[in-house]
Structure 1
Amino acid sequence: MTTPKDRARAAVVSGLATTAYYAVPDLLHSRRARGWAKVACLVPVVAVSLPTSREEWDELRTSARDARAALAAAQDGGTEAAAQEGGTEAAAQDDEAVRAGSSVRFKVAMGAAAAVALVGSTVATVAAERWVFRRGEARAAAGVRYPHTRTALVLGVLSAAVGLIPEPSESR
């Protein structure tokens, strides 16, 4: 469970890393150097969020395992009830085949939806990154000092503020 202290630490690190990430073009002019510096800005964010992410992943796996066990128990009970009500073994096998087919279709549909979401998220992120960079470059061409850093400060504060918002499960 995430404590308020952990959430505050993650928010501060996220805010500082976001600020540094978006301010890099003001400090480094080589595209390659900017790329490596931006990767370096991500390292502390991952390091701070990794313990919390692992706990959440373990909780998710446990709840998924419990849900699968409950679903299997319900399905087994339904098949047994149908057989006891005079249904034949063939009917139970047909029912199982229908469930298996719909399960495969469901998994394919969920996989496709996840792929579309991933591609959409990536495209939106790249578009936003390019827009922020072009905006900074336009401001630099207009003679504004530290044009990327000004935007970086705003984005860093927003990132820290979002990091401080408690999870819905924590506010109950």
Structure 2
Amino acid sequence: MTTNPRSRALNAGLTGLATTAYYAVPDVTPSRAARGWLKAACLVAGVALTASEPESREGLRKLRSTWREGVAVTDAAAVTDAAAVTDAAAVTGDAAVTGDAAVTRAVDGSAAVTDEDASASRKTAVAVVGVVALAASTALTIAGEKWLYRRGEARAAAGVRFPHTRTGLALGALSIALSLVPEPSDRA
């Protein structure tokens, strides 16, 4: 999906401004509580900017429709499985057998590991990897934020004026540059 270049530049500029403001907050107020509230306001502004972009809205629409299709497929599979269970129970003479196990027993007469068990294992592995990745990302983000704050405070102690703002300007410029990188679909 291609967007208006002017809109893209405006969003990139606003994102850079929000980033600069976020990192410049310690130069504005010495109060830790006030810094927390001001940084939260900057984050809300950044999220609002991201949510207002057409690409974000389109992505949310696709995610919502994919979820709805997944629910519809799951419902259809449940109806198919119920029919298979009835057929398998009739073949095996076991009314207590359900799901894929019934189909497996009906086909080869065994109680082998089913696709359902393998699917559950894959889902568990993906969930564990996701949680570990989220925890690592959070830990690295916190460590980076603390390092930037300590660096700014050391520069302030050395007599540099607006040390956090200077860092914010550099990171704001970086966020603008990254926001202006075209999407792979826009390059073609």
Quote the Cα distance in structure 1 between the aligned partners of 2:2 and 2:33.
36
Counterpart in 2 of 1:16?
A: 17
Q: Give me the TM-score of the superposition, normalised by structure 2.
A: 0.73
Q: Residue 112 in 1 paired to residue 128 in 2?
A: yes
Instruction: Verify the 8 A CA contact 2:105 2:111 in the aligned structure 1.
Output: no
Counterpart in 2 of 1:60?
A: 63
Aligned pairs (5 A) from 1:97-136:
98-136=114-152
1:31 maps to amino acid: R
Counterpart in 2 of 1:41?
A: 42
**Identity percentage over the alignment?**
52
Give a deviation string over 1:70-125, Cα, whole Å, max 9, x none.
xx99xx9xxxxxxxxxxx86237979962111111111111111100100000000
Q: Residue 152 in 1 paired to residue 168 in 2?
A: yes
Greater Cα radius of gyration, structure 1 or 2: 2
SS in structure 1 at match of 2:30 = coil
Unaligned ranges ≥5, structure 1: 77-87
2:35 maps to amino acid: R
Which ranges of 4 or more aligned residues in structure 1 deviate by more than 3 Å? 60-66, 92-97
Name which of structure 1's ranges 12-21 and 38-47 shifts more when overlaid on structure 2: 38-47
Give a deviation string over 1:40-89, Cα, whole Å, max 9, x none.
111221112114423202223445648x95xx99xx9xxxxxxxxxxx86
2:156 maps to amino acid: A
Q: Give me the TM-score of the superposition, normalised by structure 1.
A: 0.79
SS in structure 2 at match of 1:170 = helix
Quote the Cα distance in structure 2 between the aligned partners of 1:45 and 1:23.
15
Quote the Cα distance in structure 1 between the aligned partners of 2:108 and 2:186.
44
Instruction: Verify the 8 A CA contact 1:22 1:148 in the aligned structure 2.
Output: yes
Cα pair distance change 1:153/1:94, threshold 3 Å = farther
Instruction: Verify the 8 A CA contact 1:20 1:41 in the aligned structure 2.
Output: yes
The Cα of 1:8 is off from its aligned counterpart by 2.1
Instruction: Verify the 8 A CA contact 1:10 1:45 in the aligned structure 2.
Output: no
Name which of structure 1's ranges 155-164 and 46-55 shifts more when overlaid on structure 2: 46-55
Cα pair distance change 1:128/1:2, threshold 3 Å = farther
Instruction: Verify the 8 A CA contact 1:8 1:164 in the aligned structure 2.
Output: yes
Cα pair distance change 1:94/1:145, threshold 3 Å = farther
Quote the Cα distance in structure 1 between the aligned partners of 2:117 and 2:60.
29
Unaligned ranges ≥5, structure 2: 81-103
